[in-house]
Structure 1
Amino acid sequence: MSDLQQSARTAIELAKKAGAQDAWAAVSRDRSVSLVYRDGKVEKVEESTSRGLGISLYVDGRYSSHSTTDLRPDRLAGFIKEAVALTRVLQPDPYRVIPDPALFKDRPTADLERVDPSVAKLTREQREAWCAEMDAKAHSDARVISAESNLFSGESQGAAASSNGFDGSWEGSYVGYACTATVREGEDKRPEGSAHAVGRFLSGLPEPAAVAALALRRAIDRLGSTKGPTVRTTMVVDPEAAVSLISRALSPLSAASIQQGRSYLAGKQGQKVFGDKLTITDDPLLPRGLSSRHFDGEGISAKRMPLIEAGVVRNYYVDTYYGKKLGMAPTTGSASNRVLGLGNKPLAALIADVQDGIYVTSWLGGNSDPTTGDFSLGLRGHQIKGGKIGAPIGEMNVTGNLAALFAKLAVVGDDPYPYSSLRAPTLVFEDVQFSGT
């Protein structure tokens, strides 16, 4: 780590020497490994390592950013000198200023458990063995015609420094596996199911065979799928599918989107936009969280930040640049872990309470407009009949407005999806319009 920190500091010194008034530099080193196993044999193995530097320059009221993978001292000096010279010929931008050093204060020091040492020690033999386990489980049903398993991992280290006093470093690891199984149905149908698990620590993941078993079950559950009905009814959204839905709802919650006129949440701070049941907190201090951090990309010290409280918009993601344009104080420029407030019932109990409706397991294409909040999404899932998950359905859409949809959020489950930086549970919406047959 010390060599990365020194490289970042050296880059700042070189930028100042070349005439920059301010500079921000970040140096990183990354390694990733992926092994793909298909139908009984290894199909592809990829390993990559990279090291690079990114630098932002503030020169005579002008701004630019540059990157390089060549960190040799003589080459780096020439690279930065040329970058400063190029910056001088750009148009001035009065909104481009280096982050206020007051934002660097009170940086948390708690151990966020971002690194699992065992990840770096994984051998190819172990990876192949786990993929073989997944492949065997996925092929354990005679209807399976193909299966693909994947084990992936990575480790990273980095350091950043600024001309106005910032100095920090980070490191992290991740590991995960995924499986997709395809089954035969009749002459021309090939339903498939997928599952994956990813986390900071191996110990936090299920057994690989369990992931494959889930992928197989999901494929088999699709057998006999028919086009869903056109109906207005209750919608139950599986936690994994809820991640994508909430991501769409929150995507315009940034100062950049607001300033560019691309946010249906503009001007809504302090107002109730969603239903009472929706509470979301941005939590960068979550131990082992996939997006946990001590500071963000601008060096702003991490802290928990309420986004939505009982349907009321509390905060936006505000970075220095767009904050200055809008006259808003910076909060943080990017999302970390987003955690939903939970209810007290699991999926099975929620299905039983609903009695009749549509259970959405995944989204199939579609789009949403961040400016208006209007959306149209394809889906697949199951009918809910008599409080139980029934026949599989697909080839149907749900359309509407995200604010209006989340105003109809009636119940939140107690089962957050663990393999994402957005921890979403089962969501139950009332009076939702579906288009199908």
Structure 2
Amino acid sequence: MTKEEKYKLAKWAMQHALDSGASQAGVIISESKSSNIDVREQKIDTLKEAIQSSMTIRLFVDNKYSVQRTNRLKKDELARFIEQGIAGTRFLSEDPLRTLPEPELYFKGEEKDLQTLDITYDEIDPATKVELAFEAEKEAVGKDERIISVTASYNDGMNSRIMVNSNGFEGDTQNSNFGISASVSIDGGDARPSDHWSENAIFFDKLKKTEIGSKALSRAVKRIGQEKIKSGKYSMIVENRSVGRLFYPLLSALDGYNLQQKNSFLIGKLGEKVASDKLTLTDDPFIIGGRGSQLFDGEGLASKKRTVFDKGVLGTYFIDTYYGKKLEMDPTTGETSNLIFEIGDKDLESLVKSMKDGILVTGFNGGNTNGTTGDFSYGIDGFLVENSELVKPVSEMNITGNMMDLWMSLAEVGNDPRLDSSWQTPSLLFENIDFSGI
């Protein structure tokens, strides 16, 4: 279907829901395409291609609410589907706080191209995709006699959606993504260390297509000889690609659902200092070519640039319409866009030299965070640093502590943000972190 045909069908479905007894309705028609190719031992292990279209309809009926989804988009089938959905919704418990957003909060601004879609997506030859996966694998295969296995993958996806709400919103989005990755495991004696590397981009011609398998191999080789070291308090640098493991609990604590469920260690902290002066973070949905760029969120709320943390002071929560009503707070948005750190002036190598002694963490193994208290425990992989030099790889160690204390201990922010992610995390240096080992 063309975009115009999708809008026409969505508006018909919305009106049919209203005519059939719904007080409000919201309709999303989505279309997705994807490819995934895995190669191993110089053979194709997995090759998948998928195309899917679906309709999701939000039904508000007699102060009751449900979400229905189908991939059958013929009108006669949709009519029955919607009518049955409304009938089923009437059996649910009342929840008068469930409504569409207030119309004045919807995006009504000027449409502009945020460059989130590669229009050449359908022109890329499948043979090229397979070859890219094989090339990533070839960069590692046979390059070291200790290699146990090498796997490589190519993946891509394109998604589009149109959304209409019965109280006045209409909007559409499109985005694409491309990625290549490789993973290598090594015979390291008593252990079999492994590591990986990946590259991602919105546009195929901007996707880095080399030094993927070779970097995965290099990272795996460096982990040979991993061992525990003495327990104690150490300075800790977390590599930019691994920061997300510590960043996620902080973001989760800002989510409206977790706030309302009292599963957040940042309840009631709005406007208070909850982290180091080094933490300044902005949610910016308007970055051209940003992985999370958007003019409106999943409800239709107009996107806004927001300061999440300003020198450690909490500036906003992420609250959708429903949890805004439950919390008696104004809705902001229920989702993040591009999260941008205020960066420092050191790359990873310079951070290591500035730390002098401590541990560089390059990966996490298991563990969890208690959302209510912020207490955490994570297994880590990385390297011992002595006299500003990487001395030996370490593993089978845990870091423990509290998220509030952790982010208060942030001492430096690197200048190496991950530009291939909507979470543009740089490498971070923390002080006095509890490591348990020997």
TM-score, length of structure 1 as denominator length? 0.97
Q: Who is 1:228 aligned against?
A: 229
Question: How many angstroms apart in 1 are the aligned matches of 2:310 and 2:207?
Answer: 31
Question: How many angstroms apart in 2 are the aligned matches of 1:327 and 1:263?
Answer: 17
Tell me if 1:157 matches 2:163: no
Tell me how far 1:75 sits from its aligned partner. Answer: 0.5
Q: Who is 2:135 aligned against?
A: 133
Which sections of structure 1, spanning at least 5 residues, go unmatched?
A: none
Aligned residues: CA RMSD: 1.2
Aligned residues: 435
Question: How many angstroms apart in 2 are the aligned matches of 1:257 and 1:89?
Answer: 27
Equivalent runs, 1:393-432 vs 2, <5 Å: 393-432=394-433
Question: How many angstroms apart in 2 are the aligned matches of 1:297 and 1:107?
Answer: 16
Tell me if 1:184 matches 2:187: yes
Q: Who is 2:213 aligned against?
A: 212
Question: How many angstroms apart in 1 are the aligned matches of 2:437 and 2:414?
Answer: 27
- Checking the alignment, whether the CA contact within 8 Å between 1:317 and 1:331 is kept in structure 2 is yes
Question: How many angstroms apart in 2 are the aligned matches of 1:433 and 1:396?
Answer: 10
Q: Who is 1:167 aligned against?
A: 170
- Checking the alignment, whether the CA contact within 8 Å between 2:107 and 2:296 is kept in structure 1 is no
Q: Who is 1:329 aligned against?
A: 330
Equivalent runs, 1:69-148 vs 2, <5 Å: 69-107=71-109, 109-139=111-141, 140-148=143-151
Equivalent runs, 1:3-402 vs 2, <5 Å: 3-107=5-109, 109-139=111-141, 140-186=143-189, 188-207=190-209, 209-402=210-403
SS of structure 2 residue aligned to 1:117:
coil
Deviations, residues 215-269 of structure 1 (Å, cap 9, x unaligned):
0111100111111321212101100111221112211201111111101111000
Question: How many angstroms apart in 1 are the aligned matches of 2:67 and 2:119?
Answer: 33
Question: How many angstroms apart in 2 are the aligned matches of 1:41 and 1:118?
Answer: 27
Tell me how far 1:95 sits from its aligned partner. Answer: 0.8
- Checking the alignment, whether the CA contact within 8 Å between 1:199 and 1:288 is kept in structure 2 is no
**Percent of residue pairs bearing the same amino acid type:** 36
Deviations, residues 275-297 of structure 1 (Å, cap 9, x unaligned):
10001111121222222111111
- One-letter code aligned to 1:157: S
Question: How many angstroms apart in 2 are the aligned matches of 1:106 and 1:384?
Answer: 53
Question: How many angstroms apart in 1 are the aligned matches of 2:32 and 2:310?
Answer: 37
Deviations, residues 43-70 of structure 1 (Å, cap 9, x unaligned):
1101111111111111122211111111
SS of structure 2 residue aligned to 1:323:
helix
Tell me how far 1:106 sits from its aligned partner. Answer: 4.2
SS of structure 2 residue aligned to 1:172:
strand
Question: How many angstroms apart in 2 are the aligned matches of 1:39 and 1:114?
Answer: 35
Which sections of structure 2, spanning at least 5 residues, go unmatched?
A: none
SS of structure 1 residue aligned to 2:337:
coil
- Checking the alignment, whether the CA contact within 8 Å between 2:158 and 2:177 is kept in structure 1 is yes
SS of structure 2 residue aligned to 1:185:
coil
Question: How many angstroms apart in 2 are the aligned matches of 1:185 and 1:413?
Answer: 31
- Checking the alignment, whether the CA contact within 8 Å between 2:61 and 2:89 is kept in structure 1 is yes
SS of structure 2 residue aligned to 1:138:
coil
- One-letter code aligned to 1:131: A
- Checking the alignment, whether the CA contact within 8 Å between 1:263 and 1:371 is kept in structure 2 is yes
- Checking the alignment, whether the CA contact within 8 Å between 1:107 and 1:302 is kept in structure 2 is no
Q: Which stretch of the first structure deviates more once superposed, 328-337 or 105-114?
A: 105-114
- One-letter code aligned to 1:65: V
Deviations, residues 312-366 of structure 1 (Å, cap 9, x unaligned):
1110011110100111001001112211111111111111111110000001110
Question: How many angstroms apart in 2 are the aligned matches of 1:135 and 1:256?
Answer: 42
Tell me how far 1:108 sits from its aligned partner. Answer: 5.1
- Checking the alignment, whether the CA contact within 8 Å between 1:277 and 1:412 is kept in structure 2 is yes
TM-score, length of structure 2 as denominator length? 0.97
